[in-house]
């Protein structure tokens, strides 16, 4: 009798990580979340996008970037020839902060190891930090987005580029050209 195929160690580690995230009670957000939001897409992807935290729709659906901002994010990806399914999308926080307030330092610290493990298992070729809050937390800086975009950074030895958050672009349509520049810059780093 042929043994059932077993998942590789890396696949098993990914599944284990998903379970750990789903059960996490490391910070107070576990009391108010509907569910954790691990991330979506292929964990074999070259591109990893990291946003801030789940919002209301994401908390209800268990998937990052599913609201209006998510639709614009999909368009931004399409503009550089990528389908949503071809990338992996996660957030700095796996749980929604109440009323979408900014993540607190203790919450980011409690959640950081999950993101670190996701990056280590995926080994993406490029990371896009989506928006100011994600960028500042990932790069451990208070610098404004204007100073962070258009430059090459790195996270866990992987090139990182900062892009405008689609929710911001929905409010500030005149900034869309900058978002386009950011995406072109990201493409120049990895294609
Ligand atoms: N904004 C984010 O930063 N992440 C989401 O998942 C949704 C909106």
Ligand 1 within 6 A of CB of 51:
yes
Instruction: For residue range 108-142, list pLDDT tens digits in order.
Output: 999 999 999 999 999 999 999 999 999 999 999 99
Better-predicted residue by pLDDT, 49 or 8? 49
Q: Residues 36, 94: contact at Cβ < 8 Å?
A: yes
Lowest-pLDDT range of 6-20, 34-48, 60-74: 6-20
| Alpha carbon separation from 62 to 72, 143, 189 (Å, rounded) | 19, 31, 31
Share of the chain above pLDDT 90, in %: 91
Given pLDDT bands bounded at 50, 70 and 90, which one contains residue 4?
A: low
Nearest protein CA to atom 7 of ligand 1, as residue: 65
Say yes or no to pLDDT of 169 above 70. Answer: yes
Class in CATH terms, 9-189: alpha beta
pLDDT at 68: 93
Say yes or no to pLDDT of 5 above 90. Answer: no
pLDDT at 191: 87
Q: What is the mean pLDDT of residues 47-72?
A: 97
Ligand 1 within 6 A of CB of 47:
no
Interval between CA 112 and ligand 1 midpoint (Å): 16
CB atoms within 10 A of CB 117: 16
Which tokens is 122 given?
A: 């995926």
First to last CA, the chain: 45
Compute the mean pLDDT over every residue in the chain, rounded to the nearest whole number.
Answer: 95
Ligand 1 within 6 A of CB of 54:
yes
Which tokens is 51 given?
A: 């946003």
Give the atom of ligand 1 at the shortest distance from the alpha carbon of 64. 6
Ligand 1 within 6 A of CB of 64:
yes
pLDDT at 7: 77
Question: How far apart are alpha carbons 154 and 57 in whole angstroms?
Answer: 30
Better-predicted residue by pLDDT, 3 or 36? 36
> Among candidates 90, 30, 95, 94, which has minimal Cα distance to 65?
90
Identify the DSSP state of 173.
G
Q: What is the pTM of this model?
A: 0.95
pLDDT at 176: 87
Query: Which residues, including other chains, have CB under 8 Å from residue 49's CB and lie 6 or more apart?
Result: 73, 87, 88, 89, 90, 127, 128, 130
The DSSP code sequence of 55-97 is -HHHHHHTSSS-SHHHHHHHHHHHHTT--GGGSEEEES-SSPP
In what side-by-side order are the strands of the sheet with 88-91? 40-41, 88-91, 47-51, 126-130, 158-163, 153-155
Interval between CA 5 and ligand 1 midpoint (Å): 36
Interval between CA 80 and ligand 1 midpoint (Å): 20
Domain residue spans of the chain: 9-189
Share of the chain above pLDDT 70, in %: 97
Predicted complex ipTM:
0.94
Ligand 1 within 6 A of CB of 69:
yes
Residue from 41, 54, 60, 130 to probe ligand 1 pocket by mutation (most atoms less than 8 Å from CB): 54
Give the atom of ligand 1 at the shortest distance from the alpha carbon of 89. 6
3-state secondary structure of 137: helix
């Amino acid at each position: 009798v042929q043994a059932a195929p077993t998942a590789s160690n890396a696949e098993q580690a990914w599944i284990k990580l998903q379970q750990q995230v789903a059960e996490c009670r490391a910070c107070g957000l576990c009391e108010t979340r509907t569910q954790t939001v691990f991330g979506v897409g292929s964990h074999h992807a070259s591109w990893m996008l990291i946003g801030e935290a789940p919002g209301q729709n994401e908390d209800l659906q268990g998937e990052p970037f599913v609201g209006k901002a998510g639709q614009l994010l999909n368009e931004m990806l399409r503009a550089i020839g990528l389908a949503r399914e071809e990338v992996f999308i996660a957030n700095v926080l796996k749980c929604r902060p109440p009323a979408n307030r900014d993540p607190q330092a203790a919450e980011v610290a409690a959640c950081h190891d999950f993101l670190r493990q996701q990056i280590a298992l995926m080994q993406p070729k490029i990371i896009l930090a989506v928006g100011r809050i994600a960028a500042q937390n990932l790069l451990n800086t208070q610098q404004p987005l204007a100073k962070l975009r258009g430059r090459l950074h790195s996270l866990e030895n992987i090139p990182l580029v900062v892009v405008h958050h689609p929710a911001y672009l929905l409010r500030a349509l005149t900034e869309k050209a900058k978002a386009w520049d950011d995406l072109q810059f990201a493409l120049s780093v990895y294609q």
